[in-house]
């Protein structure tokens, strides 16, 4: 039954065209675009597959955000999130190897302070990058990812890596991670808002070329539909 329903949606999509989508998007007499929540609930994987490019890139696909995204094996990824993760995992790996070789080389207090120093190095670097230079962005992500790795590892090895209370240490690291992610998300929202306000489309997502492909697929699969003009 589910497969049949998906096949029906695929058939509708194939019969539709980009012109059909643009008729909806540029229709001045339509109401707001609304999500078909019932259809999304029945086909969440298909819905996620359609919007997955944005979930991975976190930015609209337009020239204003070329320095914020990059392509890897035909996938468009968020430069910041990707390199933050890469540098964090790399730094954790290096610290773990050092700890295995000789754990006396790592002092929790010194590592924590060093992490803070590197973190404070990230702040002016990211604020100074007004030119949107990708190399500087990657360097700033190295500062951020490695500093969080050092702070996290200092928490883990405090009083011994396998000392009682490891679950509290992991909980503290998780809370710090959520705090950092919240700050970075707020920073991204502010930056995207300023960039899109300066754009000719003025945050009108239905007309923004950066969202055109995703919106058209959502419309053609009926996950989004135009409301009546008075709604």
Relative to beta strand 33-35, strand 69-72 is unpaired
In a 3-state reduction of DSSP, which class is residue 107? coil
Structural domain for 118, as ranges = 79-181
Asked if the structure places residue 64 within a domain, the reply is: no
Structure tokens at 224: 């989004």
Residues 6+ apart with CB under 8 A from 168: none
| Dist CA 147 CA 76 (whole Å) | 26
Residue range 144-188, pLDDT digits in tens: 999 999 999 999 988 877 777 788 889 999 999 999 889 888 888
The answer to whether the Cα torsion of 154, 159, 165, 168 is positive or negative is negative
For 137-172, letters b (16+ CB in 10 Å) and e give bbbbbbbbbbbbbbbbbbbbbbeeeeeeeeeebeee
pTM of the predicted protein model: 0.76
Establish if 212 belongs to a structural domain: no
Residue 50, domain member (yes or no):
no
Summarised one tens digit per residue, pLDDT across range 93-135 is 999 999 999 888 888 899 999 999 998 888 777 776 555 678 8
If one counts the domains in the chain, the total is: 1
Name the H helices within 36-107.
Answer: 37-42, 44-57, 79-101
14 within some domain: no
The answer to the question of residue 151 being in a domain is: yes
Residue 202 lies in a domain: no
Q: Is residue 115 part of a domain?
A: yes
């Amino acid at each position: 039954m589910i497969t049949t329903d998906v096949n029906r949606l695929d058939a509708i999509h194939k019969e539709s065209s980009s012109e059909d989508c643009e008729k909806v998007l540029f229709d001045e007499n339509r109401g707001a675009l609304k999500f078909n929540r019932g259809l999304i609930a029945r086909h969440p994987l298909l819905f996620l597959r359609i919007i997955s490019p944005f979930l991975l890139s976190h930015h609209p696909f337009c020239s204003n955000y070329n320095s914020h995204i990059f392509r890897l094996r035909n996938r468009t990824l968020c430069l910041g999130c990707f390199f933050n993760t890469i540098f964090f995992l790399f730094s954790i790996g290096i610290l773990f190897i050092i700890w295995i070789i000789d754990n006396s080389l790592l002092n929790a207090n010194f590592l924590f302070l060093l992490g803070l120093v590197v973190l404070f190095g990230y702040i002016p670097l990211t604020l100074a990058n007004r030119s949107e230079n990708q190399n500087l962005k990657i360097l700033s992500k190295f500062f951020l990812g490695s500093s969080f790795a050092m702070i996290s590892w200092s928490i883990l090895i405090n009083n011994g890596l396998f000392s009682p209370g490891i679950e509290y240490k992991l909980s503290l690291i998780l809370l710090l991670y959520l705090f950092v992610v919240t700050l970075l998300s707020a920073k991204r929202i502010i930056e995207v808002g300023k960039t899109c306000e300066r754009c000719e489309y003025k945050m009108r997502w239905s007309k923004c070329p950066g969202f055109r492909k995703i919106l058209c697929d959502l419309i053609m699969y009926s996950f989004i539909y135009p409301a009546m003009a008075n709604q």
